[in-house]
């Protein structure tokens, strides 16, 4: 599994490992959706997301906040992350999925900056993000 | 960042030595039992980190229910100078004005015992709870919603959701001045508007308790408490509105921190000078969120009263239902505090802490002027909660006290511990009925996940911050 949940007394941390920065962003989004129970097996629509961050870590937080918004407020359920490009501190991605109305398994209030890290680990990239639940 | 160097001052206080770049010392309220619960936690490092922020006056304080948060510790209190100090959205948290209210009833346990199951079902049906819950009240237009943000619980009075005589039970009369509805984004409105009058999920709850033991008879009488009495605790906050406000302002403050040359040990501590444009804007948005939360709890209280009226067939007045107190847990406010023998105005951050005004404080409503403010300390769902009364010792904590038991286990660990157990049955054996929108929430909120609240109360009592007035025993609850 490319992501794991890490213990944090008040909250929940998501640790993601992937072979590239694009794959890392995609797996982080899918990991978040798994935690929320916001996956679907029906790719009916594609949503385009374009974001700019202050740096790579900030970009990751903004990306996950955007996914959280689309899932929690708009009711989007994610099949997969389609095309994704990360250039500098900009991201362009396509989220494939469907609008639904199923209840989420968990209320994630926010994706935080606490203990946030993106690190190169050999050929892989690893990120840790703390979620406020 | 320096590692925390701690020294026990007395049975209830631990000092964390000031080592550069700390700008002040740390002060942790903990008896020896509490100390053992935080020994292997990173939480003291978070107390140190807060002590490094510019313009902090007095110590970086931790209440005995302290536990590891993000940025600020949960259970943290810090005061900042209005001239040299900062305001930090992370120092308030995402659930702005998450707080707790207590509704007294004239019912005794024996009256409610016959109806517990029905009452619980009525509460569960009446008060929307669970992840993303919506629709506590409907038909609130954006224009009206802006009034909610400006007026807080006062709006609920004007709309008939809250009896006028309950308003002064709310901290600051249920309205933090200076709210700026324009300082919140369209997304905050989108997230928050449908959630007005809802409980939410996670650690939010509705709890029916019985007053099990009176510790201070005179104060209990003044508060309207008696043995065997049924009371209701309501724990919720600003829902998606506050989450979104915090989200956006933390991001803005990261950029602002760099502009103002503030070195951050943790990005979640992002802040700006209190009087800066960024600081003022956040204060306006935070006050709007806090007022949403006051109105939210006032509406939930209305729905609770309606459930009681349906079950007992009597009006809430006949049932003796009235607010004892409603207070914030996560907030930053400009308040008058005592520091170095002077009364000064400072920006007090309370993140997982509650205000505690002692007798004689001019900010108290008339009914608590002689006694001091009631302080609610909800415990876990299987043991007990307390109602305390603020004491003069709260001057040392910028008029703050603990807000609950404090988590001991992570949510993940709690789920592991509860695997294979029948939590509802365990509670039932203790005479507690529970309904939860989610089984996962129930597992995360098991009693084992929390510290023993009596250790927390022993500490604040021993330190002279607040004294116990009554001990409550839960007998029914709705978990989000």
Domains defined along chain B, listed by start: 6-479 (3.90.1860.10)
B215 noted as active-site residue: no
Which residues, including other chains, have CB under 8 Å from residue B422's CB and lie 6 or more apart?
A: none
Chain B residues whose C-beta sits inside 8 Å of any chain A C-beta: 41, 43, 67-71, 74, 90, 93-95, 130-132, 187, 190-191, 200-202, 240, 243, 246-247, 250-251, 254-255, 266-268, 270, 407-413, 438, 440, 480
Q: What is the pLDDT of residues A31-90, one digit of tens each?
A: 999 999 999 998 999 999 999 999 999 999 999 999 999 999 999 999 999 999 999 999
- Annotated active-site residue in B67, B204, B349, B403: B403
**What is the residue-level pLDDT of chain B in tens, covering all 480 positions?**
888 999 999 999 999 999 999 999 999 999 999 999 998 778 999 999 999 999 999 999 999 999 988 889 999 999 999 999 999 999 999 999 999 999 999 999 999 988 999 999 999 999 999 888 888 788 899 999 999 999 999 999 999 999 999 999 999 999 999 999 999 999 999 999 999 999 998 889 999 999 999 999 999 999 999 999 999 999 999 999 999 999 999 999 999 999 999 999 889 999 999 999 999 999 999 999 999 999 999 999 999 999 999 999 999 999 999 999 999 999 999 999 988 889 999 999 999 999 999 999 999 999 999 999 999 999 999 999 999 999 999 999 999 999 999 888 888 888 889 998 899 999 999 999 999 888 888 888 899 999 999 999 999 999 999 999 999 999 999 998
Nearest one of B46, B87, B58 to B262, comparing CA atoms? B87
- Nearest Cβ partner of A107 from B202, B250, B407? B202
Half-sphere exposure of B6 (CA within 13 A, CB side): 18
Are residues B415 and B421 in contact, defined by beta-carbon separation less than 8 angstroms? Answer: no
State residue A6's pLDDT score. Answer: 79
Kindly determine whether residue A105 and residue B438, on different chains, have CB atoms separated by under 8 Å: yes
Instruction: With beta carbons under 8 A apart, name residues in chain A contacting B440.
Output: 105-106
For the range B83-86, what are the long-range contacts, defined as Cβ-Cβ under 8 Å and sequence gap of 24 or more?
Answer: B83/B55, B83/B275, B84/B54, B84/B55, B84/B273, B85/B53, B85/B54, B85/B55, B85/B56, B85/B57, B85/B273, B85/B274, B85/B346, B85/B347, B86/B53, B86/B54, B86/B55, B86/B262, B86/B271, B86/B272, B86/B273, B86/B274, B86/B279, B86/B347
Give the span between the Cα atoms of A86 and A62, in whole angstroms: 13
**Residue B401 corresponds to which tokens in the numbers above?**
């006290």
Give the span between the Cα atoms of B47 and B26, in whole angstroms: 6
Give the span between the Cα atoms of B432 and B131, in whole angstroms: 23
Distances (CA, A) of B359 to B15, B50, B104: 27, 30, 21
Which residues, including other chains, have CB under 8 Å from residue B241's CB and lie 6 or more apart?
A: B184, B188, B189, B191, B192, B193, B195, B289, B292
CATH class of the domain at A3-132: alpha beta
Instruction: With beta carbons under 8 A apart, name residues in chain B contacting A61.
Output: 251
Q: Which SS3 state, helix, strand or coil, does residue A42 take?
A: coil
pLDDT of residue A9 exceeding 80, the answer is: no
Among A117-121, A124-128, B97-101, B128-132, name the one with the lowest average pLDDT: B128-132
Locus of tokens 């517990």 = B116
Kindly determine whether residue B202 and residue A103, on different chains, have CB atoms separated by under 8 Å: no
Q: Where are the domains of chain A?
A: 3-132
Q: Chain B interface, mutation test: which of A54, A65, A69, A107, most B Cβ atoms within 10 Å?
A: A107
Instruction: With beta carbons under 8 A apart, name residues in chain A contacting B95.
Output: 109
Q: Cα(first)–Cα(last) distance of chain B, in Å?
A: 38
Instruction: With beta carbons under 8 A apart, name residues in chain A contacting B69.
Output: 10-11, 114
Handedness of CA A105, A106, A108, A109 (dihedral sign): positive
Nearest one of B451, B470, B332 to B389, comparing CA atoms? B470
Kindly determine whether residue A113 and residue B250, on different chains, have CB atoms separated by under 8 Å: yes
**Residue B332 corresponds to which tokens in the numbers above?**
């930053």
Q: Quick one: CA torsion of B298, B301, B307, B312, rounded to 10 degrees?
A: -120
């Amino acid at each position: 599994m490319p992501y794991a949940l890490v213990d944090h007394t008040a909250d929940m941390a998501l640790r993601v490992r992937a072979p590239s920065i694009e794959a890392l962003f995609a797996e982080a989004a899918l990991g978040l959706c798994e935690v929320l129970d916001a996956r679907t097996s029906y790719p009916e629509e594609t949503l385009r997301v374009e974001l700019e961050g202050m740096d790579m870590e900030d970009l990751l937080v903004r990306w996950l906040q955007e996914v959280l918004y689309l899932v929690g407020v708009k009711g989007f359920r994610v099949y997969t992350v389609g095309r994704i490009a990360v250039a500098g501190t900009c991201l362009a991605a396509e989220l494939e999925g469907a609008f639904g109305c199923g209840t989420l398994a968990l209320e994630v209030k926010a994706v935080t900056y606490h203990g946030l890290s993106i690190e190169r680990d050999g050929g892989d990239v690893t990120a840790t993000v703390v979620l406020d639940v | 960042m320096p590692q925390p160097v701690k020294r026990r001052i007395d049975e209830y206080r631990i000092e964390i030595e000031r080592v550069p770049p700390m700008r002040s010392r740390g002060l942790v309220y903990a008896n020896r039992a509490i100390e053992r619960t935080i020994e292997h936690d990173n939480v003291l490092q978070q107390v140190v980190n807060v002590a490094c922020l510019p313009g902090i006056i007095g110590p970086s304080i931790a209440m005995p229910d302290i536990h590891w948060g993000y940025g600020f510790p949960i259970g943290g209190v810090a005061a900042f100078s209005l001239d040299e100090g900062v305001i930090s959205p992370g120092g308030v948290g995402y659930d702005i004005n998450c707080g707790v209210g207590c509704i007294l009833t004239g019912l005794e346990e024996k009256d409610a015992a016959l109806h517990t199951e029905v009452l619980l079902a009525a509460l569960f049906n009446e008060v929307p709870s669970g992840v993303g819950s919506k629709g506590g009240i409907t038909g609130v237009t954006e224009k009206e919603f802006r009034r909610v943000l400006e007026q807080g619980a006062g709006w609920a009075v004007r709309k008939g959701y809250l009896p006028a005589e309950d308003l002064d039970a709310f901290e600051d009369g249920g309205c933090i001045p200076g709210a700026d509805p324009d300082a919140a984004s369209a997304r905050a409105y989108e997230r928050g508007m449908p959630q007005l009058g809802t409980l939410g999920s996670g650690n939010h709850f509705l709890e029916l308790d019985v007053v099990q033991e009176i510790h201070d008879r005179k104060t209990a009488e003044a508060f309207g408490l008696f043995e065997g009495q049924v009371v209701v605790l309501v724990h919720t906050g600003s829902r998606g509105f506050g989450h979104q406000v915090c989200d956006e302002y933390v991001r803005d403050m990261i950029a602002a921190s760099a502009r103002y040359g503030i070195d951050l040990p943790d990005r979640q501590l992002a802040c700006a000078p209190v009087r800066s444009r960024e600081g003022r804007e956040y204060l306006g948005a935070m006050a709007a969120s806090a007022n949403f939360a006051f109105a939210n709890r006032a509406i939930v209280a209305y729905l609770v009263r309606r459930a009681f009226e349906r079950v007992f067939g009597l009006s809430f007045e006949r049932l003796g239902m009235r607010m004892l107190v409603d207070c914030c847990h996560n907030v930053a406010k400009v308040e008058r505090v005592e520091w170095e023998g002077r009364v000064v105005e400072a920006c007090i951050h309370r993140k997982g802490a509650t205000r505690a005004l002692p007798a004689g404080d001019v900010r108290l409503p008339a009914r608590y002027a002689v006694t001091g403010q009631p302080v609610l300390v909800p415990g876990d769902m299987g043991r007990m909660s307390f109602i305390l009364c603020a004491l003069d010792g709260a001057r040392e904590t910028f008029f703050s006290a603990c807000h609950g038991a404090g988590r001991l286990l992570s949510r993940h660990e709690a789920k592991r511990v509860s695997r294979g157990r029948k939590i509802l049955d365990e509670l039932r054996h203790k005479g507690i009925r529970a309904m939860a929108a989610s089984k996962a929430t129930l597992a995360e909120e098991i009693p084992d996940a929390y510290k023993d609240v009596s250790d927390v109360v022993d500490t604040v009592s021993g330190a002279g911050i607040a004294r116990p007035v009554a001990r409550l025993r839960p007998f029914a609850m709705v978990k989000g």
